[in-house]
Amino acid sequence: MKLAVVGKGGSGKTTTSSVIARTLARSGRAVVALDCDSNPNLGISLGVGDEETERLVSMRQALDEGEEEHANNWDTLISRYGSDGPDGVRLAVVSRIDNPEPG
Amino acid sequence: MSPEQLLGSVDFPEDDVVVADFEAGVGTLTRLGEEHVDTVVIVVEATPKSLEVGARAAALASERTVARIVVVANRIRHDEDLETVKAAFPGMEVVGVPHDPKIVEADRKGVAPIDLDPNGPAVLALIGLASTLIPTSN
Q: Which of B12, B25, B79 is nearest to B57 (CA)?
A: B25
- CA dist B130 and A71 (Å) reads 29
pLDDT value of residue B138: 47
pLDDT of A67 over the 90 cut = no
**Beta bridge pairs of residue B43:** A7, B72
Minimum distance, in Å, between the CA of residue B52 and any CA atom of chain A: 9
Structure-model confidence comparison of residues A75 and A98, the more confident one: A75
Over residues A51-76, mean pLDDT: 75
Report CB contact under 8 Å: B45, A12.
yes
What pLDDT, in 10s, does the model give residues B100-109? Answer: 999 999 999 9
Cβ contacts of A22 on chain B, cutoff 8 Å: 112, 114
Minimum distance, in Å, between the CA of residue A54 and any CA atom of chain B: 12
pTM of the model: 0.91
Over residues B51-64, mean pLDDT: 95
Minimum distance, in Å, between the CA of residue A41 and any CA atom of chain B: 10
pLDDT value of residue B83: 98
Q: Which of A40, A25, A19, A43 is nearest to B113 (CA)?
A: A19
Cβ contacts of B36 on chain A, cutoff 8 Å: 2
3-state DSSP percent of chain B in helix, strand and coil, to 5: 45, 20, 35
pLDDT of A103 over the 50 cut = no
Report CB contact under 8 Å: A36, B20.
yes
What pLDDT, in 10s, does the model give residues A27-51? Answer: 999 999 999 988 889 999 999 988 8
pLDDT value of residue A46: 97
What pLDDT, in 10s, does the model give residues B21-55? Answer: 999 999 888 888 777 899 999 999 999 999 999 99
**Cα–chain-centroid distance for residue A55?**
12
Minimum distance, in Å, between the CA of residue B67 and any CA atom of chain A: 10
Cβ contacts of B43 on chain A, cutoff 8 Å: 5-7, 11-13, 16
Over residues B3-28, mean pLDDT: 85
ipTM of the complex, rounded to two decimals: 0.94
Cross-chain CB nearest to B50 (options A11, A24, A39)? A11
Cβ-based neighbours of B22, under 8 Å, separated by 6 or more: A4, A5, A6, A13, A36, A37, B3, B28, B29
Report CB contact under 8 Å: A4, B20.
yes
What pLDDT, in 10s, does the model give residues A79-96? Answer: 777 888 999 999 988 876
Burial label for A6, CB within 10 Å (0-12, 13-18, 19+), is: buried
Cβ-based neighbours of B136, under 8 Å, separated by 6 or more: A27
pLDDT of B118 over the 60 cut = yes
Report CB contact under 8 Å: B127, A95.
no
Structure-model confidence comparison of residues B6 and B44, the more confident one: B44
Task: List the domain boundaries for chain A.
Answer: 30-93
Report CB contact under 8 Å: B24, A13.
yes
